[in-house]
Chains A and B, each alone.
Chain A
């Protein structure tokens, strides 16, 4: 299926290659570079390319291109999903997925790739299994290894590989047994010029960090599961019990993982936490414009809005800005034409305001469209949909775990048109 993999950085250097079948020359990437030239933005490179003998499927992540070479028919999502899984694994192992990190750990990455695919077909992709076969690097271990000549590679077959729960390894032991769940909800919204909501929905995810000894069997139940409209689960969740009882019953993987993604049913009205008053004008003459943005709280459920940030992609003609915020800081990158206004905490008594002038390239025609504003925000201790975890029960083990649930609401793709 997947024939070869090339890792390419943004400037177009291939810095890692791996072949699972016979070797394919680097020249195959030229077709990709051609397409990359054509698309100005790296996001605009088509993910699937056809060349005379091969097909190239690419993902763009962390400023890197993961390019895989395919020769025969395969489900493209299969490859895309797998490439993302590689990136996830690298991130999981080394904390981030960037060129320097991969270059520093090139052997480990290579070993990982060797384990993840066999003959182009995924072999082991669960991070728990991989970590047993190839231990993630830590400073302590590297010191110990140099002293004792020990190895980073496990010599036993990972226990999970054979069991029915491949995501969990056996013999986990912790002195502090704890299970934390983060309920993170993101508001996706499009608000039009007049402030009416064109489209809004809530997407949520439950991220879990479970450090429990042995084989705990957890049951997580909600106060109001009827809110959840569409869900997708980590493979550990027993679907039958969800269908019947609306509880999440699972034997968790060890460590951090995404337990479920959900979508809140569309009947519920989505509370929009902030309103934005904005006017951006470009004048026909004089090659300048004015900008005035005010943000205020709308439906915040009595919580404070934090991490407020406004990002504006300005038209190409805007050369520089002269703006003064009443709160926070404002930067403009004249190369990418991105205006970022980092506000921070929203104070309802004193609404933050940004105002000033924009100077434009002289002679350039007035832009027809005003740029839209992307809002970023964060509300702690609140799930905007009202979802609440009612309880977490553990079976199968005797100790008392420490449990915790945290709620956060964020702005997802929150856009205000102007």
Chain B
């Protein structure tokens, strides 16, 4: 069939051959026939031929050479897949003659255009190396070249090659270290494992031990956390400089400074703990275990515990490693104690390992729960597991003195167990325990002596005999009797038991020779003729030692000392005790033996080698561009922080009024225009937007800025100016460009234009970036991704879920009455006709003049926002002071900080002139005081507005009793507590005003005081009145506790306890202000 002309027949034939290979049958006879087809056009036949070739080429070297020319041709093929597979097969053929050809092919492929071919080249390196180790030097050159490769595809493979060929050439890594760290997250998962393992070793040789100076570490940790937050991966250079400045500052204070590169590694590997691949998680875990400062290692525990849900093989390996870790760092896994509880369905090996971990985790506080667990385990049907449990109990007893007696009693009870194995194991463990404190337990020894009649397990019998012999003075009556019994059955005993019988006899002879002299003689005689030479030897030796004869030398005088010397109690140790000298997660660690090719984890160096070796020389012009980029970033940053930050409302209001007045004429004409027209224009803007997007896309593909319309150009120029000036905030520039646009074009276009200019900035940035040609690919990609997401924001259509709307309207109508009932202060209530009540402070959202007659106020209604509990309800109050009706009031273009969400108010269709209306919207501020920016639209106009919440509105009241309050407060001490002294305003010294002012400043509820006094008499009556208030933040639900203690003459102390320190600090300020004015 192989000679046939038809591809289908050939294919069928090849399939059969491959099936033969797969089953392990020999198909080498067919080699000549198969090799002929290596040049076959059909790709599937070809692949199968390759499979065959790789399998048999080693056996048929001469014939295999026939195929080489085909591969050489394949290496020049324009299709990268064919190039790669030719190289793959060529390098897999293990024929020594073609080594030079392979070498040449690898070198060529290493500089191939296609990263896929380069990857294949990296794979080929270890193959060639194993075929001919003499090529090492040349191969190292190739590796060095490939290490410098910047694609993620190659990185994993080349590090693999590095590990196999030249793991000792750590110097090759220096220049690529930072790149590898940064690429890591995008490398495929298998490559990640290899790279992380290699970097662990690298870091051990290059950095200092972070745990050298434990006490100073605390300080360092907090310092480092601050720049941990400023995680900005986009600009390496800047970041590094930042870090250097930071570390330089720290260096003045303390001796140990973590190398910024060390920190880089730790930071970049941390997200990989979330990988789905257990091997990656384990690799990161071992990296943290070996490299991270003690305070930071804890993060890996959670991830490792997660792996325990995986396949049992994975569990097995993970538990082995956890067992080692728990010996060194017990605290890390203590919170997860229960995750190690054993199920009856676990395989035995998993059970035993879990037991090991549980034992390692046992301490004074949790021992009682652990022992209770052990008690259930003892009843298990799996006897090996029961034995292991008994040993575990023994180890807990030795480690924790308090429970020794309990454990011992428990074990003694087990002696009456029906299962012999259980009894035997307990005897062995009891023996070890008793050795620690024999005096107290002579009755246990007696009990055990009785057991000799029943127990058959030799180890247990031997243990009992040894115990009796060792402590024969405590049981003077029983010991000789036991010996008598044993002497009777001596010949039928196992060897270890026989040895112990001799031992017992000897010891008894020395202490109680009167009763046992004859017995001993008898035993020794029996032993003399035993089949086992060990026993014969022992008997001879003991006879010489203890039985005084004329020949016996000085030794027999010391016989008693020899036999009855105080023996140190054995230490029950974990079998995992010394395993941590192997790199965790490695095969060697698992087997506790060095596996072939294992690279020792080096010790930390005494002094750090020169860190500058890792510096990569950056050509001058790239530096320039990076600086430019930075400038642009500065432009960009305020775009987020300024417009949405503290100064948000005022600034945007300003710009609002500006643009409003600037474009009044234009908008005026709009107002007069008919409704249908405006609709049209809206449609037009939409389609335009889409068009522009399309254009943008095409432009992106072309990767060069194409200049568009006039207005765009102008805005572009604007941008450029700003970029140079660098200090001007983006929000300003945005509004400016808006103005321009508006004056030039119709208002409906302004929005799309606006987005356009924004995109333009991005594009320019990209253009600036793409100028330096040899720059990490990844960065560009990141930018691209980001760009996509930004564009997406534009076509993000806010689809208010329809089912919410009725709820909202219902809410707003019933709100008025609700408010009445709920407002906290008993001051004058607002007239029932109008919301909001005067107790709630209302803020201006849109001024009457700016809004061209439309006035909008908002207040925080302090109602729970029913559609979403995490949102703060904001009540909007619209008043139409204009002469014309306002139509279809709604909101649009919501700009939020990440994580924030808005639920819009239902559209108000008509607001007649002179009328008012209210609506409720919900905003999830994510517990921050960032402003929510959006456009308030009428049918004709759009107003930029923003709502910034005072910190006090970000919480909702909760009811706590005084005791609960105190308990919670106790848990929020230290960093979470802020205390401030103040002098109360003269008008606000009575209880009523204080409560009123605090509750007005923050949405908290008063904790009733004194109500608990009756039930808890020991509380001394407070000299000074204390006011307590409690609440929870709306989004995260963290507690906010406020305490005001008043003293004489208006002096007072304010304490705020809150998990969120920022909220706490801001709240202190606000309440302080409320109380002092």
Contact = CB atoms under 8 A, between A and B. Distances in A.
Contact of A118 (B48, B123, B271): B123
B609 to A, nearest CB: 25
Interface in B856-911: 868, 898-899
B18 interface: yes
Nearest to A49: B591
Given A26-B24, A107-B19, A166-B188, A47 B316 contact: yes
B588 interface: yes
Contacts of B55: 19, 23
Given A118-B88, A119-B127, A368-B417, A151 B596 contact: no
Nearest to B690: A398
A145 B945 CA distance: 65
A226 interface: yes
Interface in A137-160: 146, 149, 151-153, 155-157
A121 B190 contact: yes
B306 interface: yes
Given A245-B899, A396-B788, A313 B345 contact: yes
B419 interface: yes
Given A231-B274, A232-B274, A162 B44 contact: no
Contacts of B22: 16-18, 106-107, 109-110
Nearest to A21: B130
B126 interface: yes
A15 B20 CA distance: 10
A354 B1020 CA distance: 61
B451 interface: no
Contacts of A74: 586-587
A239 B153 contact: no
Given A80-B311, A149-B8, A374-B345, A73 B185 contact: no
Interface stretch (A38-46, A177-185, A286-294): A38-46
- The secondary structure that dominates the A interface is mixed
Contact of A155 (B43, B339, B868): B43
A200 to B, nearest CB: 9
Nearest to A126: B188
B276 A232 contact: yes
A369 B899 contact: no
Interface string B26-62: 0000000000000000111001100100010010000
Contacts of A146: 8
A258 interface: yes
Interface residues of A, number: 104
Contacts of A84: 311, 313-314
Interface string B107-135: 00000001110001001101100100000
B788 to A, nearest CB: 6
A60 B344 CA distance: 19
B341 A198 contact: yes
A280 interface: no
B596 A76 contact: no
Given A43-B312, A80-B314, A157-B116, A75 B19 contact: no
A55 B595 CA distance: 9
Contact of A77 (B51, B84, B317): B317
Interface string A224-240: 00100111111100011
B414 to A, nearest CB: 11
B866 to A, nearest CB: 14
Given A59-B311, A73-B597, A76-B317, A81 B277 contact: yes
Most buried by B among A22, A80, A84, A417: A80
Nearest to B778: A164
B271 A239 contact: yes
Interface stretch (B376-384, B432-440, B517-525): B376-384
Nearest to A311: B345
B788 A395 contact: yes
B809 interface: no
B43 A161 contact: no
A368 B384 CA distance: 15
Interface string B811-830: 00000000000000000000
Nearest to A395: B792
Interface string B563-588: 00000000000000000000001111
A413 interface: yes
B197 interface: yes
Interface string B331-350: 00000001101011101110
A403 to B, nearest CB: 12
Interface in A1-60: 1, 14-19, 21-23, 26, 39, 41, 43-44, 46-48, 50, 55, 58-60
B302 interface: yes
A1 B275 CA distance: 22
A415 interface: yes
Given A22-B94, A107-B19, A157-B80, A81 B788 contact: no
B190 A153 contact: no
In this complex, the interface size class of chain B, counting residues with CB under 8 Å from chain A, is: 35 or more
A1 B316 CA distance: 20
A122 interface: yes
Nearest to A257: B276
B398 to A, nearest CB: 26
A246 interface: yes
Most buried by B among A166, A233, A239: A239
A80 B190 contact: no
A226 B869 CA distance: 13
B92 interface: yes
A81 to B, nearest CB: 5
Most buried by A among B11, B120, B190, B596: B190
Interface stretch (B278-286, B475-483, B1024-1032): B278-286
B558 to A, nearest CB: 46
B598 interface: yes
A361 to B, nearest CB: 14
Contact of B591 (A43, A50, A110, A230): A50
B800 to A, nearest CB: 12
A74 B126 CA distance: 15
Interface string B79-101: 11100100010011010000000
A213 interface: no
Contacts of B381: 313, 315-316, 367, 369, 371
A283 interface: no
A155 B47 CA distance: 10
A81 B48 CA distance: 27
B309 interface: yes
A348 interface: no
A92 interface: no
Contacts of A119: 91-92, 123-124, 126-127
A399 interface: no
Interface string B129-165: 0100000000000000000000011000100100000
Given A119-B127, A164-B152, A217 B43 contact: no
A114 B47 CA distance: 10
A263 interface: yes
Given A16-B23, A164-B186, A78 B279 contact: yes
B651 interface: no
B650 interface: no
11 contacts: A75-B283, A84-B314, A106-B22, A125-B188, A232-B303, A233-B275, A239-B271, A313-B345, A368-B419, A393-B796, A413-B343
Given A76-B585, A80-B314, A232-B274, 12 more contacts: A48-B590, A55-B591, A72-B595, A76-B586, A78-B279, A80-B279, A84-B314, A106-B18, A125-B189, A239-B271, A395-B788, A417-B344
Interface of A: 1, 14-19, 21-23, 26, 39, 41, 43-44, 46-48, 50, 55, 58-61, 70-78, 80-82, 84, 106-107, 109-111, 114, 118-119, 121-123, 125, 146, 149, 151-153, 155-157, 161-162, 164, 166, 188, 190, 192, 198-199, 201, 203, 217, 223, 226, 229-235, 239-240, 243-246, 249, 258, 261, 263, 313, 315-316, 365, 367-369, 371-372, 374, 393, 395-396, 413, 415, 417
